[in-house]
Amino acid sequence: MTTETHSTTEHGMSNAGYVRIAAILAAITALEVATYYIDLGALFLPSLLIMMVVKFIIVVSYFMHLKFDNKLFSWVFYAGLILALTVYAIFLATFHFFS
């Protein structure tokens, strides 16, 4: 007869933590929608991009559990984000969006 002991380490957060994160994401989304109705001028695109990056980091860190995994996985996702932002900026510059 063998007795095995399993460690029950929690990988992630409690349900209340996920609800808090969802509320933060909802608030940021409300701010993103509000930027459509408020004239921010030249700050329109940078504010949307900043909020998009913050939401990306929150979703990747908590809902995809990368905060609790090896940092290499996080860097892979962040490199993809930087690549996507760079391609988007080049695309907008090609069509003279910034002029």
Residue 5 lies in a domain: no
Residue 89 lies in a domain: yes
Residue 4 lies in a domain: no
What whole-number distance in Å separates Cα of residue 48 and Cα of residue 12?
Answer: 28
Contact criterion met (CB below 8 Å) for 11 and 68: yes
What whole-number distance in Å separates Cα of residue 44 and Cα of residue 49?
Answer: 9
> What are the phi and psi torsion angles at 44 (to 5°)?
-60, -60
Residue 10 lies in a domain: no
pLDDT higher for 44 or 13? 44
Which of 46, 35, 33, 60 is CA-nearest to residue 89? 46
pLDDT tens per residue, range 42-93: 898 889 999 999 999 898 888 887 777 788 888 888 899 899 999 988 988 8
Which pair of tokens denotes residue 40? 């921010």
Going by pLDDT thresholds of 50, 70 and 90, the confidence category of residue 10 is: low
Going by pLDDT thresholds of 50, 70 and 90, the confidence category of residue 3 is: low
Residue 37 lies in a domain: yes
Residue 36 lies in a domain: yes
Contact criterion met (CB below 8 Å) for 92 and 98: yes
Domain that holds residue 24: 15-94
Number of domains in the chain: 1
Residue 45 lies in a domain: yes
Going by pLDDT thresholds of 50, 70 and 90, the confidence category of residue 6 is: low
Residue 99 lies in a domain: no
Whether pTM exceeds 0.85: no
Q: Kindly tell me if the per-residue pLDDT of 12 is higher than 70.
A: no
Q: Kindly tell me if the per-residue pLDDT of 1 is higher than 60.
A: no
